[in-house]
Structure 1
Amino acid sequence: MNPKLIKFAKIVLPILLGVFLIWYFLSSATPQYREELLHNITNAHPFWVILSVILGIISHASRAYRWGFLLKPLGYTPKIYNNFMAVMVGYLANLGIPRSGEVLRGITLTTYEKVPFEKAFGTIVSERIIDLIMLIIITSISGFLQTEYILNFLQEKDINPLATLGILFLLIFIGLLGLRILRISNNRWVIKIRNFGIGLLDGMKSILAMERKWAFLFHTILIWTLYVLMFYVMKFAVPSLSTASIGIILVAFIVGSFSMSTTNGGIGILPFPIVVGAVFVFFNFEKSDGEAFGWILWGSQTAVNIIVGALSFLFLPILNRNRK
């Protein structure tokens, strides 16, 4: 089969499936439900929506500033505005192709700041590792706050946690075996991959050579606190959700994060508004209220990514036109 066709299908099919699922959920709903959903969206309190958007933009700026801490040990001090615009064009790219934003973000810094791509990308990988650790911490806190609900859910769905752990250990073993092959193989393609990996490691090791580790930690906590606050303040935009506890918001945040990270900006196999709405339904809130929350949050943050990302594409060459 044509490789270009396969690549095109990988991009388009998840989006089409997400659109179909959204259409199916809405078309199969009762007229009363659709009316309630539209009412909740159109009557959302604008103050809380705007506040959530502002928190999101501050988190993006903090991420751009934190990125500089990882690049400095490698001998590079890019302009903060270039870091910020690189982050935003990455978010914009992720709306089309999941995870492509990280590559474009590295390419942007290579283009305008002359940072070798493999080193820039290595620092981005380091960020993602830190992000994963933070998500695990938040998941653990959420699990502690909602232990009873989670255990009941696992029991109802007949899910065996031990089987999940077994699969995890198997994946770790396969990964270690792959690393062993990369180290000892003399195949020229494997050598190229190994050399590229060494460049990535140089970028990732920058986290150990940082001078301002506490500042990096502060911004890491700040970024993820702002992420959670984006969710928390948005509940007040839909008054019927204002009683939702921080534990419920954390569960919605975790589910929403998974949807955003594995799909085209939250519209794919797991559409963000639907899966987030399902969390509120699980905790005995109305479906129309929960999905209205998801649509408002997804719509406002996606609008920011599109507008600021597009402006970043425009201003990157303009602001850097006199730089050699």
Structure 2
Amino acid sequence: MKKTLKQLLPIILAFALLAYVLQGMPMASLLEQLRQSSPFWITVTAVIMGAQTLLRAIRWRMLLQGLGYAPSTGRALSSMLAGSVSGLIIPGSGELLRCTLLQRSDNVPITESVGSIITERLVDLLATAFFLTITILLESGRLLTYVRQYMQPPPWLLATTTGQWMGIAVAIGLSILLAVLGLKRLAKQAAVQRLAGRLKLRERIDGFQRGLLSIRLVSSPALYWLTTLFIHSLSLVVLAALFRALPVTETLPNSAALTVFALTSLGSLTIPTQASIGSYHFLASRGLVAYGLPLVTGTIWATFSHAVITLVNLVFSALGFLAALRFMRRKQTYTVSEPERRTVIGFRKTN
């Protein structure tokens, strides 16, 4: 029951927030703008998103190669896309399916591939922080207007003194320290050690750690970070192309893409809605108000752009899932041997 509620909560929150954003929306205006949308710019958006998806698969393959595995770009791509469509249907299932498919096709342990995916998420978080910093530097005036208008902090937060904040920080730090010490003491107990031996928990943890630290084993770190930068830059190009796709937003400056990207990225991290439904619409529409657009117009563009992005992702993900079906039928063996893999890892660590 608890697990089901945890899966349903992002979906319920998403549609509740979407209903709030769309309340009072004149559907006639929305449909009219959709009819006037540019097929050319929608096609450009799909092509850019395709290139971005391919780069993500290439980047993930770099991490797996650092671990000593050699999946093809096609198999990494199809596994990633199949996981994407699964995650849209069942929250939280995408990463598991993605790793399971790669285990069947290339014998990559699930623990190591999960660790590499978490590394990807952390790298993406750093990239988001980088672009957020650029947005603050270039669009600080508009962002301050947005924050003052839509994100007024509650009175109790403003009334909290510096001493109280320091007390809260000390309390949190002590709680974390006590929790770590308690877990270490628990881990030393013989019963826990015997249980870990039976379940091979240590091997799983070691595999997870190898995957998490796979970025240290990438053969070309500069190329990896350059690929990451290019992936997130393409997100800005997608938003700029979608501005041109509607008559009401075609005159917006390209800098508006930075603001929308920063706000929606923060929203996806802080508001756990399924497929960013609702949170994207709310934050993107309010962000465009800072560029002189009426709220209704911003909501129309947010609804249109989210629909296009979601539809393109669904098409790509469905194609990837169909391609991955053949990996489920027969097991591939395109990996290096275990001694060779450990030799490669040992060599890279010493250098």
So what's the TM-score if we normalise by structure 1? 0.84
1:185 maps to 186
SS in 1 for 2:318: helix
- Show CA shifts across 1:253-285 (max 9, x none): 122234445321122xx4423331121124330
Q: Which amino acid aligns with 1:315?
A: A
List gaps (5 residues or longer) in structure 1: none
Q: Distance in 2 between matches of 1:174 and 1:239?
A: 54
- Show CA shifts across 1:215-266 (max 9, x none): 2122111111111111111100123223323332212112223444532112
Q: Distance in 2 between matches of 1:118 and 1:47?
A: 43
2:273 counterpart (223, 248, 263): 263
1:252 counterpart (251, 254, 260): 260
1:87 counterpart (80, 90, 93): 80
Note the C-alpha offset of 1:87: 1.3
Q: How many residues are treated as equivalent by the alignment?
A: 315
Note the C-alpha offset of 1:59: 0.7
Q: Which amino acid aligns with 2:42?
A: V
2:226 counterpart (204, 218, 230): 218
1:279 maps to 287
Task: Return closer, same or farther for 1:180/1:111 CA change in 2, 3 Å cut-off.
Answer: farther
Q: Which amino acid aligns with 2:109?
A: P
CA contact under 8 A between 1:37 and 1:288: conserved in structure 2?
A: no
* Percentage of matched positions with identical amino acids: 24
- Show CA shifts across 1:276-318 (max 9, x none): 1121124330233322222222222222222222232222132
CA contact under 8 A between 2:104 and 2:331: conserved in structure 1?
A: no
Q: Which amino acid aligns with 2:24?
A: A
- Show CA shifts across 1:39-89 (max 9, x none): 112211111111112111111100101111111121101111110011112
Note the C-alpha offset of 1:91: 1.7
Note the C-alpha offset of 1:127: 0.8
Listed as ranges, the matches of 1:1-324 within 5 Å are 5-26=1-22, 28-29=23-24, 33-155=26-148, 157-159=151-153, 178-179=179-180, 181-186=182-187, 188=192, 196-260=204-268, 262-267=272-277, 270-318=278-326, 321=330, 323-324=332-333
Q: Distance in 1 between matches of 2:177 and 2:31?
A: 50
Note the C-alpha offset of 1:103: 2.7
Q: Distance in 2 between matches of 1:174 and 1:265?
A: 33
Task: Return closer, same or farther for 1:147/1:91 CA change in 2, 3 Å cut-off.
Answer: same
Q: Distance in 1 between matches of 2:136 and 2:31?
A: 32
CA contact under 8 A between 2:57 and 2:73: conserved in structure 1?
A: yes
Q: Distance in 2 between matches of 1:175 and 1:110?
A: 35
- Show CA shifts across 1:91-110 (max 9, x none): 21222344432232222212
CA contact under 8 A between 2:281 and 2:306: conserved in structure 1?
A: yes
Q: Distance in 1 between matches of 2:294 and 2:221?
A: 44
So what's the TM-score if we normalise by structure 2? 0.78
CA contact under 8 A between 1:51 and 1:233: conserved in structure 2?
A: yes
CA contact under 8 A between 2:41 and 2:245: conserved in structure 1?
A: yes
CA contact under 8 A between 2:57 and 2:76: conserved in structure 1?
A: yes
Task: Return closer, same or farther for 1:122/1:20 CA change in 2, 3 Å cut-off.
Answer: closer
Greater RCO, 1 or 2 (C-alpha within 8 Å, sep 6+) = 2
List gaps (5 residues or longer) in structure 2: 334-351
Q: Distance in 1 between matches of 2:172 and 2:125?
A: 17
Task: Return closer, same or farther for 1:86/1:276 CA change in 2, 3 Å cut-off.
Answer: same
Report the RMSD for the aligned CA atoms in angstroms: 3.2
Q: Which amino acid aligns with 1:65?
A: I
SS in 2 for 1:283: coil
Q: Which amino acid aligns with 1:185?
A: L
Q: Which amino acid aligns with 1:323?
A: Q
Q: Which amino acid aligns with 1:233?
A: A
SS in 1 for 2:216: coil
